Amino acid sequence: MLRLSLGLAILFTYIVMIWGGAVRSTDSGLACPDWPLCYGNFQLPKETSAKLEMGHRTVSGLAGIFVFLTFFLLWFKYKTAPKSAKIASLVALLFTISAALTGMKMIRLEAPNLKYVSHMLLESFHIYESMIILGALVLTYRFLQREEKPSGGVPLWAYAFALTTMITGVLVRYTGSGEACGHEWPTCAGKLIPDLTNWQVALQFAHRNIAYVTWLAFLLAMVSNFNRTTLTAFVFINLQFLFAISMVVSGFFLPLVFLDTAMGFFLFAWLTYNLQLSKTPEPRVKPAW
């Protein structure tokens, strides 16, 4: 039961994040003017944008149910489960509640319009909440497996670069800075080093350069400790680069935006699961469930 609940919590949280990206890309965030229902009832709305938004809320609700069930099972049924797994499940639950409240506030303030800086920051914070939920759930699964990655995991310093790239990428998207450099790469506004007096150009340019450093970090991690995990991480980083560059030069073609979003959140979850957390080798034992 615990395995199924946690697996569904991870799956639905991931779907929610991708679906949310689709809602953002199609400007459907305010298609349902009420919260938590759409037009104040349970009827399926007629407009495609409203269906998209209502579907996102429905999947979010399912994710929340499985996050709560996982927390309940770990704390009240599987009492011998590792404390680290219990704490991670608690973090996931707390941020699930926080994300629901943030979502409600976004609708009431009409934040998806991105009219004010406060709206942009609120939308970005909502994505960060989702990332914390997904990361906490993935760590819950890992801690239940009781498996450490003393030498073959993703180095913390490389993970930090990747996380910084993702954080700035969210800011780029939810501040409307995605096209600040135009539909070009590697140049930005026709130059290798653009005029940085425009804050959106500066943000986009900074995000790109952090991404370049991240690529170098994972190349170094692979060269310094070549194994299946570091090789896979480097391959995934390159795949993410491919989607991101294709998205920009195509003028943010929606299928490529979807692939970039899906790959980005998958990469985050995969890196979190394979993060090197221990320097002391420990034998792998039977999963605690």
Mind listing the pLDDT tens digit of every residue in the chain (289 residues)?
899 999 999 999 999 999 988 888 888 888 887 888 787 777 777 788 888 888 889 999 999 999 999 999 999 998 889 999 999 999 999 999 999 999 999 988 888 888 888 999 999 999 999 999 999 999 999 999 875 555 578 999 999 999 999 999 999 999 989 999 999 999 998 999 999 999 999 999 999 999 999 999 999 999 999 999 999 999 999 999 999 999 999 999 999 999 999 999 999 999 999 999 865 444 444 555 6
Q: How far is CA 217 from CA 47, 110, 131, 171, in A?
A: 45, 39, 22, 22
Q: Kindly report the pTM of this predicted structure.
A: 0.91
pLDDT at 115: 83
Q: How far is it, in rounded angstroms, from Cα 157 to Cα 212?
A: 15
pLDDT at 11: 97
pLDDT at 147: 58
Query: Is the Cβ–Cβ distance between 283 and 188 less than 8 Å?
Result: no
Task: Of 158, 287, 276, 288, give the one whose Cα is nearest residue 222.
Answer: 158
pLDDT at 33: 79
The distance from CA 271 to its chain's CA centroid, rounded to whole angstroms, is 11
pLDDT at 19: 93
Q: How far is it, in rounded angstroms, from Cα 85 to Cα 263?
A: 26
Query: Is the Cβ–Cβ distance between 260 and 207 less than 8 Å?
Result: no
Cβ-based neighbour number of residue 144 at 10 Å:
23
What does DSSP assign to residue 111?
A: G
pLDDT at 282: 44
pLDDT at 148: 58
